[in-house]
Amino acid sequence: MRLKTRLTLLFLLVAWAPLSVAGWLMTERMQDRFASEFQSRRDAVHTAVGERFKQLAAQLTVALERIAADPLLQTELLQPLAHKQFYGDPQRQRAIVREARRLITSPAVDTLRLVDLGRKGHVIALGHRQGEEPLDTEVVQVASTAASQGVDSTLLMRTERVENDRTGAADELWTLQVVRVVPSGSSARVALVGGKILSGELLSTLVRAAAGEAQVALDVRGMRVAATFDGASPPLVEGGYSEQSSEVIGRSAEGEDAATSAEPLATLTVWIKRDTWVQTRRQLWRNAGFLGAATGLLALLLGLWFSTRLSRPLEELAEAAMAVATGRRDQVVRETRGSDEVAQLTRAFNQMTLDLSAGEERLRQSERVAAWREIARRIAHEIKNPLFPIQMSIETLQKVWQRQHPDFEEIFDESTETILEEVERMKRIVTEFSDFARMPAPKPERLDMVELCSSVLGFHRDSSDVLEVELRSAGPVWVCVDPDQWRQVMTNLVQNAIEAMEGCEVQRLLMVATAEGGRARVEVVDTGPGMSQEDLGRLFTPYFTTKSTGTGLGLSIVHRIVEEHGGSVRVESQQGAGARFIVELALA
């Protein structure tokens, strides 16, 4: 990844990270605030319902006290019961049943039940429906418990069959009831059971007064008593509800074991909509998104500007450094204004290229001088060797001529032959130096390397009686090279191998030509004495030779020709194990 891209991404990260953290923290704080608000509203609903139940219980108690003090109840029920004259008078019993509804004078009382405690809970009359009723043993149990605790009344919740005014049928409705024990003579003989019907309308009124929009349900012993909605749960809304249950005042008397239960309390479940919270959170993240987009755009622009300002000089420096590495020393980087690190770096780079160019020029001049000195020394050394035999031959001819030696003609022939040989040797030396100094440009042609190797080996196959020559190849190896130059390469390698094997008992020369992986490969293997690692490192250096004769330019010429054709040449050798020259070149 480029520096410019990394810097831009870093700017975006620096811009967005605090914004994301702030959004998350604000969301968490809003969640906590909503939870606190929900708890407050739930407590308000709980308190309102509980207080309302207490008010209903108090109103029922007051109403039952008034009913208990009614003269009709005293004269037509309590006194006859005390004197054991009530059940023997059917007319009085029917009067009580008829007047039961009239006794309900308070709007707080929806149902009224008169229970005879002395006859195991026999229902004397109902204030909401006429007809025979079973024994009310629950009231007997509640009244006995209240009497044992020294109270006149107690509170409970249970179902009551109430006559429907429109249909005339009896509906099972849950009621909040108060049991008021009325003494008859010296004992508590009659219990007044007054009830208030628990309905969804009653809960809705309480909820609207306490918590605004909310849904509640009242459950007693796992049974739904009343709710502000229809069904098992509130209707689906966006965001859902936050739900929590809590206990409210009231004793359940529903079920077979209700008379012996340990006062289980009714449960009020409150559902409060989360739509406000969801909308607020959505708006928060929408605003955060807009802010993030604006911040990201600003960070992107700043990042691009800053990274471009910082990376452009560095890119120019990198390109200039790569150009300098390839040999171009004329690179000058545009210097930036200021005194920061980038400006200092560009100025230092420009100064470095100037110093490097000047240093290389001095080095090239020194190398040229040294090269010419080495060439002069080598030429002088190589030419000096044949000059001595020429000088000796001429001096011998002068002496013989002055003395009029009788064998002058024979000595003349020998001396002139020596002079001609040494002159030919000098010409060969000059030719090699000329070839090395002025190597002509290659003129590539498509040819078979195997055929070329075979023709070169043909000239040397019979050069010695002990020399064994072999060429191995699986087929043609086509390359695109200059025929004359590559014939010179193969010839130099073969001559070098033959000269290295002079004096060896086993003289075997092997050439292998193959084509593998898009490359042509030629190996020249000899059984000579091999070379040391030090000699291997200097083998292709001009003027280096391990032989007593020669200029040391043969392998240098080979190396130069191979490289000019895009190939490579290397040597593998150990002392006493011969040498292997390996030449590789692209296939045609």
Query: Who has greater pLDDT, 220 or 473?
Result: 473
Sign of CA dihedral 360, 362, 367, 368: positive
* Buried b or exposed e, range 466-476, using 16+ CB within 10 angstroms: ebebebebeee
- On the question of pLDDT at 144 being above 80, the answer is no
pTM (predicted TM-score)? 0.45
* CB-count exposure of residue 170 (10 Å: 0-12, 13-18, 19+): middle
Report the SS3 class of residue 583: strand
CA distances from 321 to 2, 3, 6, 318 (A): 17, 17, 22, 5
The pLDDT value given to residue 4: 64
Q: How many residues does the chain have?
A: 588
Side-chain-side CA neighbours of residue 519 (13 Å): 13
Reported as a pLDDT band with limits 50, 70 and 90, residue 551 is: low
| Superfamily of structural domain 442-586 | Histidine kinase-like ATPase, C-terminal domain (3.30.565.10)
Q: Reply yes or no on whether the pLDDT at 132 is more than 50.
A: no
Residue type, 434: S
Looking at per-residue pLDDT, the higher value among 183 and 40 belongs to 40
- Token code pair at residue 68: 């208990």
- CA–CA distance, 1 with 504 (Å, rounded to integer): 62
Q: Is 296 helix (H, G, I), strand (E, B) or coil?
A: helix
SS3 per-residue string spanning 470-534: EEEECCCCEEEECHHHHHHHHHHHHHHHHHHCCCCCCEEEEEEEEEECCEEEEEEEECCCCCCHH
69-197: which CATH topology?
A: Beta-Lactamase (3.30.450)
Cα–Cα dist 582/525, whole Å: 9
Q: Count CB neighbours of 446 within 10 A.
A: 9
pLDDT tens digits, residue range 83-124? 777 777 788 878 887 777 777 777 888 888 888 887 878 888
- What pLDDT does 257 receive? 44
